[in-house]
């Protein structure tokens, strides 16, 4: 296409006064509908697992719901807490526990500087949370099968202010990559090389979210046990993208010792857990099979959306950009030529397409190469998505 033709197409899109949004990885209405039968599932019966669901208690959650978390995180249910609706909130609570009380040693409030390794590009809310808590963030590049472990090991050996790594091991946000067994094994050994209260934050937000045949994720907790680092990991998951986003169940899993140290902090912050919502989830997703069946329905909806994205992106000249082809999760990570992302973002914005701000996928909002854009195609209708992708590729071509 000539420059003139691209400009003409862009002008046509401007004239349509569009209002489209690809900013956040949220389920579509069609997906949310899949879980609607869960709402009335208790039929006004409030005893479950031998518990009165209506009263305080069970800070670790109902056993049957902890078992659902155990399926997601590949661990014994006794190592799981089911509480709250947001795994991001549980992540923040663990950091608070580390600061104010300590989990595997001194409370971090006694240290002058705390640093975290941040595989990039990564989840924007992880980075904004760490930044808000005053934690220094250090970029570690992702390599397609997880973080650059040579680099991570080198960093933790020489800088003892590094006390954690925060990662999304499966269908990573936004790159979609799944960590290899080699990376998991080295990640599990990382605390041995680092400061002794080093913590791995293992956010398995997309653990059952395949929409195509996907690489299987190994079990890091087993590697940790072998390396004697099982007290140095906390794992997270939630049903935000399984049932209702923001109205599901969140899970935290860790060794018995880490869990009990965390609980001694956590139990001062709440009196129990929402067992009514937990019982609904346990009845709705009663075993591995019913979970798989439910996720198959999600994958049918999602795979179509990612096909649309790929169809449009593949119209771009091959030297202009590269992008990921995920088999699960909620995102496509798009890299323009260095220096072009902000321009593409602006062109999209002017044409009525909102994208996640450039830099959001990096600590401190700074993409060192100004080239990464996150595409979140899940929430909008397929018709709108086609229009959004038309705006996106036209803007990329115009910027390029
Ligand atoms: C990697 C990752 N972790 C956590 C979350 C938020 O999960 P929750 O709703 O359980 O807080 C998201 C949402 O996009 C995410 O992408």
Probe target for ligand 1 pocket from 26, 128, 205, with the most ligand atoms within 8 Å of CB = 205
Question: What is the Å distance from ligand 1's center to 89 Cα?
Answer: 9
pLDDT tens by residue, 194-233: 998 999 999 999 999 999 999 999 999 999 999 999 999 9
Classified as helix, coil or strand, 395 is helix
pLDDT tens digits, 55-68: 999 999 999 999 99
Task: Return the pLDDT at 1.
Answer: 86
Whether residue 283 is predicted with pLDDT greater than 90 in this model: the reply is yes
Distance between Cα 12 and ligand 1 center (Å): 36
Asked if residue 327 belongs to a domain, the reply is yes
Give the structural domain span for 220. 47-287
Q: Is 235 in the pocket of ligand 1 (CB under 6 A)?
A: no
pLDDT tens-digit readout, 226-265: 999 999 999 999 999 999 999 999 999 999 999 999 999 9
Cβ(299) to ligand 1 under 6 A? no
The count of structural domains within the chain is: 2
Q: Where does a domain end: 257, 287, 317?
A: 287
Q: β-strands 233-238, 199-203: how paired?
A: parallel
- Considering the domain architecture, whether residues 15 and 98 belong to the same structural domain is answered as no
Among 87, 236, 328, which is best to mutate for testing ligand 1, by the most ligand atoms less than 8 A from CB? 87
At 196 the pLDDT is: 87
For residue 40, tell me if it sits in a domain: no
Whether residue 211 is found in the same domain as residue 108:
yes
Q: For residue 89, what is the domain's CATH number?
A: 3.40.640.10
How far apart are the C-alpha atoms of 338 and 28, rounded to whole Å? 32
pLDDT (average), residues 370-374: 97
Q: Which CATH number covers residue 319?
A: 3.90.1150.10
Q: Are residues 336 and 359 in the same domain?
A: yes
CA distance 220 to 222: 5
237: left (phi over 0), alpha (psi -120 to 50) or beta: beta
pLDDT digit string, tens, across residues 36-90: 999 999 999 999 999 999 999 999 999 999 999 999 999 999 999 999 999 999 9
The beta strand positions in the chain, using DSSP E, are 20-21, 47-48, 51-52, 80-82, 115-120, 136-141, 162-167, 199-203, 233-238, 250-253, 321-323, 332-336, 353-354, 372-375
What confidence tens digit (pLDDT) does each residue in 321-332 have?
Answer: 999 999 999 999
């Amino acid at each position: 296409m000539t420059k003139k033709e691209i400009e003409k197409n862009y002008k046509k899109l401007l004239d349509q006064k569009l209002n489209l949004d690809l900013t956040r990885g949220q389920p579509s209405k069609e997906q949310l509908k899949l879980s609607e039968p869960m709402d009335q599932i208790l039929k006004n019966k409030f005893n479950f697992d031998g518990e009165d669901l209506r009263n305080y208690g069970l800070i670790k959650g109902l056993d049957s719901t902890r078992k659902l978390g155990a399926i997601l995180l590949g661990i014994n249910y006794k190592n799981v807490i089911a509480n709250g609706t947001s795994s991001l909130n549980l992540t923040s609570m663990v950091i608070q526990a580390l600061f104010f009380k300590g989990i595997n040693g001194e409370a971090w409030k006694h240290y002058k500087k705390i640093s975290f390794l941040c595989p990039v590009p990564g989840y924007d809310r992880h980075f904004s949370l760490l930044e808000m808590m005053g934690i220094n963030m250090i970029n570690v590049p992702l390599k397609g099968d997880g973080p650059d472990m040579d680099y991570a090991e080198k960093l933790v050996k020489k800088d003892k202010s590094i006390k954690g790594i925060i990662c999304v091991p499966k269908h990573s946000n936004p790159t979609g990559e799944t960590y290899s067994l080699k990376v998991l094994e080295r990640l599990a050994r990382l605390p041995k090389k680092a400061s002794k209260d080093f913590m791995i934050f293992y956010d398995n937000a997309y653990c059952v979210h395949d929409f195509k045949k996907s690489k299987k994720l190994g079990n890091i907790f087993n590697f940790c046990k072998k390396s004697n680092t099982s007290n140095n990991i906390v794992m997270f998951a939630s049903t935000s993208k399984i049932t209702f986003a923001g109205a599901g169940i969140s899970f935290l899993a860790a060794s018995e010792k880490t869990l009990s140290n965390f609980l001694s902090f956590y139990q001062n912050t709440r009196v129990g857990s929402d067992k009514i919502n937990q019982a609904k989830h346990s009845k709705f997703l009663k075993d591995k099979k019913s979970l798989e069946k439910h996720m198959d329905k999600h994958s049918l909806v999602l795979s179509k959306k990612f096909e649309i994205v790929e169809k449009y992106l593949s119209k771009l000249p091959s030297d202009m950009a590269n992008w990921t082809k995920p088999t699960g999760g909620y995102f496509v990570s798009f890299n323009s030529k260095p220096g072009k992302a902000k321009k593409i973002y602006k062109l999209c914005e002017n044409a009525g397409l909102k994208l996640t701000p450039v830099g959001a996928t990096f600590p401190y909002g700074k993409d060192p190469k100004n080239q990464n854009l996150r595409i979140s195609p899940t929430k909008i209708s397929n018709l709108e998505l086609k229009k959004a992708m038309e705006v996106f590729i036209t803007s990329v071509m115009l910027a390029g």
